[in-house]
Amino acid sequence: MFAINIKYKRSKTFSSETKQYLDLIEKKLIRLKVDKIDLSPSKIHFKNSFFNGQGSNHLMATVDKGYFNIDSELKELQYSFSVTRMFYITLSMSIFLGLISQSYLATIFFFLFLFGTILAITLIRHKMFLNKLISQL
C-alpha cells in the first residue's frame, strides 16, 4: 500500500578506503542528532528515538532507523530508512479524527492527507540530503 522502508542508491566511485567515507557520514549523522550509530566495515546503521529533541521540522524527525552502505564493487552508496513510526502516528491521528467526525471516509481521507503529505515531503528532503552528501564525499 504505502512505502514504509525507502531505499535510495547513488553511483559514486569510492577508493579502496571506505572507512574515511563512513567517518564523514557518521559525523553528518552526529550533527543531525541521530541517537544510536553502529559502524561496520562497509555499513553504518542508525536508530532515531522518538523524544530526542530534534523538533518536527528536523530532517530525521520522521525516520525511525536506517543505514548507509558503501559498495565499492558496484560503485554505489545505498541509503535506506524506515518511516514506520510516522505511519503509526498518522494512522492513530486519523482514527481519532475519524471517531470525532463519525465517518470512516473522513478517517481514510485524513490518513491519506496526513501520511501522504508528510511522506512526500520526507522523500523530497531525503533525496536532496543524499545528493548533497554524495557531492561532499
C-alpha cell at 19: 572507512
Local confidence band at 33 (pLDDT 50, 70, 90 cut-offs)? confident
Max mean pLDDT among 7-16, 41-50, 68-77 falls in: 41-50
**How is the chain split into domains, by residue range?**
5-136
Alpha-carbon torsion (98, 101, 102, 108), positive or negative: negative
Residue pointed to by grid coordinates 566511485: 13
- Cross-strand bridge partners of residue 92: none
Provide the 3-class DSSP secondary structure of residue 56. coil
Q: What is the pTM of this model?
A: 0.80
DSSP letters for 95-124: HHHHHHHT-HHHHHHHHHHHHHHHHHHHHH
